[in-house]
Structure 1
């Protein structure tokens, strides 16, 4: 049976929304999805169109969303449409819209940088080698089962979050003399969330195409897409 996926991509170009989502379009089609691509979240306000969807893949960093579009997105997920995404495309979208933040359950706060003398003034200033650690729940979950902890050298997301999330993997921000916090901070790196009849999947790794091509990251995201859509 054919399923329908909507890919919404745009916002800040630094996250390569077109190239990033293009990585996963063949996978969706190979798994029986008819894929529609849009460049604005305002499509969420189309109630009739949203009612036909099995999955929404969002890759829109920052940007804005109208009240009508946000209400449409929330209604679709509550009615059973899956919502999935990675990095700033889902966890740093529509910063001014608290209803959206409530839906997703995690908001980007920062990605700590290198020691100040090592910074050169570009995105690599925030590329830190860090571990993604699978939780006990994650070791049993369809998305992360049979995966081991792994390391990445990329942005390490610190997210504000709540207890409705089922956390499948975490990352720990260490204490450094040039940072103002005083103890290590454990932040969710991969989580799921149930919302009404719908499923939500978020992976914070995914800053750039090369990170998305990492075997572990790509496996997690591909499984997450299918899990969110109940495929």
Structure 2
């Protein structure tokens, strides 16, 4: 029996919402999902439509959402619809909606540029070498169990998060010359979250197609979508 996945994409074009979600639509279809695509989060306000959705894959950076749509998404997840996404498409969406932020459990705050004196690539001034490190939970969780710590050179997300998240991987910001922070900070990079009967999956790597094509990142996102989807 097939399940229904809804891909909702849009927002800031710099995160390539069409190209990045197109990477994963064939994977979802291969795993038995009927996939539909919308370019407006107001679909979440359609309670009848949302009741048929087993998985929402969202890629909308910034943008806005109505109170009715935010409540609709929360209600759908609470009833069992899964919610999954990566980078700004889920962790930097709808900044003004506290209902949405509480649902997701984490919010992008910054992606600091490389340290003073290090070369900065034109157009990629915030691309930093950093490590995605598995937690003890991450070494056992089906999304990340066989994935070792790995390195990326891309935006490193500084996120604000709450204690209801099950953190599978983290990333750390070291103390560097010219920085205002005085000690190393470690923040979630991959987390899951139970919300009512529904599951939420977030991975902060995923700035562009190249990052999502990294074998580790791609495996985490693919497994995260399957994990989040409604189960019988």
Give the TM-score, by structure 1 length.
0.98
Q: Deviations over 1:84-139 (max 9, x none)?
A: 00000000000011110000000000011113455658541100010000000001
Task: Kindly indicate whether the alpha-carbon contact (under 8 Å) linking 1:87 and 1:203 is maintained by their aligned counterparts in 2.
Answer: yes
Q: Per the alignment, in what secondary structure is the counterpart of residue 139 of structure 1?
A: coil
Q: How does 1:1-231 map to 2 (within 5 A)?
A: 1-118=1-118, 122-230=122-230
Aligned residue pairs: how many?
231
Q: Per the alignment, in what secondary structure is the counterpart of residue 107 of structure 1?
A: strand
Q: Gaps spanning 5+ residues in structure 2: where?
A: none
Q: Per the alignment, in what secondary structure is the counterpart of residue 124 of structure 1?
A: coil
Q: Per the alignment, in what secondary structure is the counterpart of residue 24 of structure 1?
A: helix
Task: Kindly indicate whether the alpha-carbon contact (under 8 Å) linking 1:106 and 1:161 is maintained by their aligned counterparts in 2.
Answer: yes
Q: Deviations over 1:22-58 (max 9, x none)?
A: 0000000000000000001000000000000000000
Find runs of 4+ consecutive structure 1 residues off by over 3 angstroms.
116-123
Q: Gaps spanning 5+ residues in structure 1: where?
A: none
Partner Cα separation in structure 2 for residue 7 and residue 221 of structure 1 = 14
Question: Please, what is the CA RMSD of the aligned residues?
Answer: 1.2
Q: Which segment is superposed worse, 71-80 or 106-115? A: 106-115
Partner Cα separation in structure 2 for residue 69 and residue 189 of structure 1 = 27
Q: Deviations over 1:128-154 (max 9, x none)?
A: 010000000001001001110000000
Q: Deviations over 1:192-214 (max 9, x none)?
A: 00000000000000001000000
Partner Cα separation in structure 2 for residue 6 and residue 134 of structure 1 = 29
Task: Kindly indicate whether the alpha-carbon contact (under 8 Å) linking 1:169 and 1:189 is maintained by their aligned counterparts in 2.
Answer: yes
1:177, distance to aligned residue in structure 2 (A): 1.1
